[in-house]
Amino acid sequence: MFQLMKKSLVLKCYTPDFTVYETAPLTMKSNKNLFNESDQPRSIRTCYGYISALKKSITVPNWSEFSVVGTDEGMNYNYPEQNRTWVESHNDPCLKAQDIQVTKICSPWAIESNHNIDILLSAHVLNTSPMRVPSGCMTFHRFHQLNMFNYVHKKAHDYSVPFGLPLVSLFPLTERNIVLETYYDPDKFHELNYRSKSNPFFRGGRIKLGRLLGW
């Protein structure tokens, strides 16, 4: 059993919010959780790519409903409890011509991995909201925050994202067996977040640290 766990990619996910732990945990679909496609009418739910994506990824559901309200003068995220999610706005010069506001949504999850393996984050196949989530690669071996970006157009708009809607998928780029564990542990969450924020550089901290430490 120990050798199996050693070879597996083990992802331990910690949250400081007991409600999130109980109602919106990170999940993986197994074969037995997926319906028999032969019993279903022809649709996206019987598509091989759709089923394979669910089987090979971790789903991050929305832990709190929120709305995005914008006008020509500015943009706001609104939540039932403002302390549950943190949003940062970035004026990215690369997207200035496209009139896009880059926002970073910081989730209430910190993840610890036993192997330094890249994980692809992308918009979930079932995320039917107007969110525009760019893809990116991360590793939770050294940095542990689970964040995602959302592109918001700088024009009048108003949309809501319901609780429980799958937001993003995490695809571990490995053939190893994946073991996913979730915990309610405020102390561990804050410890991992503190570790992730330790950065001696003004810009490109993770890239420079990786080069410095040989990651």
For 147-171, the pLDDT digits (tens) are 999 998 877 789 999 999 999 999 9
> Is residue 58 predicted with pLDDT exceeding 80?
yes
How many other CB atoms are there within 10 angstroms of residue 155's CB atom? 11
Tokens 């759709």 sit on residue: 50
pLDDT score recorded for residue 97: 56
pLDDT score recorded for residue 39: 57
Closest CA to 145 of 70, 88, 101: 88
Sequence spans of domains, the chain: 2-213
For residue 93, CA distances in Å to 133, 137, 169 come to 18, 21, 27
Mean pLDDT confidence for 19-35: 78
Query: Residue 124: what are its φ and ψ, rounded to 5°?
Result: -70, 145
More confident residue, 170 or 200: 170
pLDDT per residue over 84-94, tens digit each?
557 887 766 66
pLDDT score recorded for residue 175: 92
pTM of the model: 0.84
pLDDT score recorded for residue 195: 82
Mean pLDDT confidence for 129-150: 93
Q: What is the mean pLDDT of the chain?
A: 83
> Is residue 121 predicted with pLDDT exceeding 80?
yes
**Strand (E) or helix (H) holding 78:** strand 74-78
Contacts of 51 (CB under 8 A, 6+ apart): 34, 37, 45
More confident residue, 94 or 39: 94
> Is residue 9 predicted with pLDDT exceeding 50?
yes
More confident residue, 64 or 72: 64
More confident residue, 210 or 21: 21
> Is residue 81 predicted with pLDDT exceeding 60?
yes
Give percent of the chain above pLDDT 90: 51
> Is residue 65 predicted with pLDDT exceeding 80?
yes
For residue 68, CA distances in Å to 39, 64, 101, 130, 146 come to 39, 13, 12, 10, 20
Contacts of 23 (CB under 8 A, 6+ apart): 63, 163, 164
More confident residue, 23 or 203: 23
